[in-house]
């Protein structure tokens, strides 16, 4: 992904510095050249030898260690395609924001004119300090905000370094890695709304966040994206707003012949009211009311049938179809049964019984199943990270293999 690119990685004196070892490994696996600049305090948390071994390069700490009359804070800035400062302490953020250049890292940041990512990590009270927030607003760089959780200081709150996956993905995005250029991807999201009368409807708890994360990620990777959603979304890619399962079916079928990938991340209602009242249904004297429901079409299954019905010569050009399933028990067993019934190329299984992932959460953890019985586990992460890993596994690896 990053072949021929040089990443200048700045590490400051925070406990999260140890996490950057994995980030270096990710950059190296992506074939990037990694050059590291540490503040003196950073070496209290991670050793120079460790960083040199992982990066296969010298680690720079001191200013004015000039070779060949080439000041290092300028030469390192010139060589890099992107600069990443992670973890970024409150101290370093404030210095950069106010133009203080009292060490090699802050001097480079002051002279740097290309894409720069800052990933803060600090105590939650420090993060919430108005002065720190004001300094952050002064920075016209990409800020990857910290996450909430248990902190090394014993507090619990917003201050943890964001995932190294997120830092890596943002680096790839800013370096304009576009492996999906020319590919047309249709993604559905959100729970469908099945009307009962003008004020009532049947729906589910789906927030649409996973589908939206997939659409954003696909767009960032160069794809031509169409998002078919039940939510109000304003994006720079094509968004089609729908309401019911029948609306969604019609919209997806219209895009079928013009797509390379269809990802059905929406939560489609299984049933709808047999009759929709044109007027608000009034409360009756009885304690019960009977509502007759009829089954909605299985959009995923019908898309797969349509693909299978294509003449063999045309089938390779038919879209690759990805389904989602939400299960509250026996996740993998039900998912394996479902992929066989639906006939899709891949099925992504969510465990909705957990409160820390899935519906309405910003996090997810999924299993990807394919028709050959293979399973890929994507561990818990924010949904943008999960989206990238899904696309990497299902789309990117197929394209580059």
Catalytic residues: 153
Q: Give, for 240, the enclosing helix (H) or strand (E).
A: strand 238-241
Tokens of 231: 């939510």
Of 295, 297, 293, whose CA–CA distance to 274 is shortest? 293
Q: Dump the DSSP string for 251-297.
A: HHHHHGGG-SEEEE-SB--SEEESS--SSPPPP-SSS-----EEEPP
Phi, then psi, of 92 in degrees rounded to 5: -70, -40
Residue with tokens 């197929």: 398
97: Cβ contacts below 8 Å, ≥ 6 apart = 135, 136, 138, 139
Between CA 175 and CA 178 the distance in angstroms is: 9
Q: Tell me the three state secondary structure of residue 61.
A: coil
* Residue 339 to residue 330: CA distance in whole angstroms: 14
Angle at which helices 383-391 and 209-220 cross, to 10°? 60
In this structure, what token pair is assigned to residue 372? 């050959």
Non-local (6+) Cβ contacts of 184 within 8 A are: 223, 224, 226, 258, 259, 260, 261
């Amino acid at each position: 992904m990053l072949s021929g690119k040089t990443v200048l990685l700045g590490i400051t004196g925070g406990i999260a510095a140890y996490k950057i070892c994995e980030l270096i490994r990710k950059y190296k696996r992506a074939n990037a050249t990694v050059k590291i600049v540490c503040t003196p305090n950073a070496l209290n948390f991670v050793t120079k030898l460790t960083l040199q071994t992982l990066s296969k390069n010298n680690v720079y700490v001191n200013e004015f260690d000039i070779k060949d009359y080439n000041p290092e804070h300028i030469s390192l800035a010139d060589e890099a395609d992107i600069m990443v400062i992670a973890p970024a302490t409150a101290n370093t953020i404030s210095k950069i924001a106010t133009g203080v250049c009292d060490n090699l890292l802050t001097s480079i940041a002051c002279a740097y004119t290309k894409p720069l990512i800052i990933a803060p990590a600090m105590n939650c009270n420090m993060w919430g300090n108005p002065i720190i927030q004001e300094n952050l607003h002064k920075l016209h760089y990409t800020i990857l905000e910290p996450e909430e959780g248990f902190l090394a200081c014993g507090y619990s709150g917003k201050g943890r370094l964001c995932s190294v996956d997120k830092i890596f993905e943002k680096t790839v995005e800013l370096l304009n890695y576009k492996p999906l250029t020319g590919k047309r991807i249709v993604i559905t999201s959100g729970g469908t709304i099945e009307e009962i009368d003008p004020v009532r409807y049947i729906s589910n708890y789906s927030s649409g966040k996973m589908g939206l994360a997939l659409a954003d990620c696909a767009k960032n990777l160069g794809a031509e994206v169409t998002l078919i959603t039940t939510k109000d979304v304003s994006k720079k890619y094509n968004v089609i707003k729908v309401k019911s399962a029948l609306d969604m079916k019609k919209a997806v079928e219209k895009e079928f012949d013009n797509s390379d990938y269809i990802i059905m991340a929406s939560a489609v209602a299984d049933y709808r009211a047999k009759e929709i009242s044109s007027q608000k249904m009034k409360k009756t004297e009885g304690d019960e009311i009977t509502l007759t429901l009829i089954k909605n079409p299985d959009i995923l299954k019908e898309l797969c049938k349509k693909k299978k019905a294509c003449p063999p010569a045309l089938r390779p050009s038919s879209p690759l179809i990805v389904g989602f399933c939400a299960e509250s028990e026996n996740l993998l067993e039900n998912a394996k049964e479902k992929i066989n019934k639906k006939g899709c190329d891949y099925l992504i299984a969510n465990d909705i019984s957990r409160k820390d992932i899935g519906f309405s959460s910003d996090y997810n953890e999924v299993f990807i199943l394919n028709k050959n019985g293979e399973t890929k586990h994507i561990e818990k992460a924010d949904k943008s990270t999960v989206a990238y890993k899904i696309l990497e596994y299902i789309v990117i690896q197929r394209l580059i293999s």
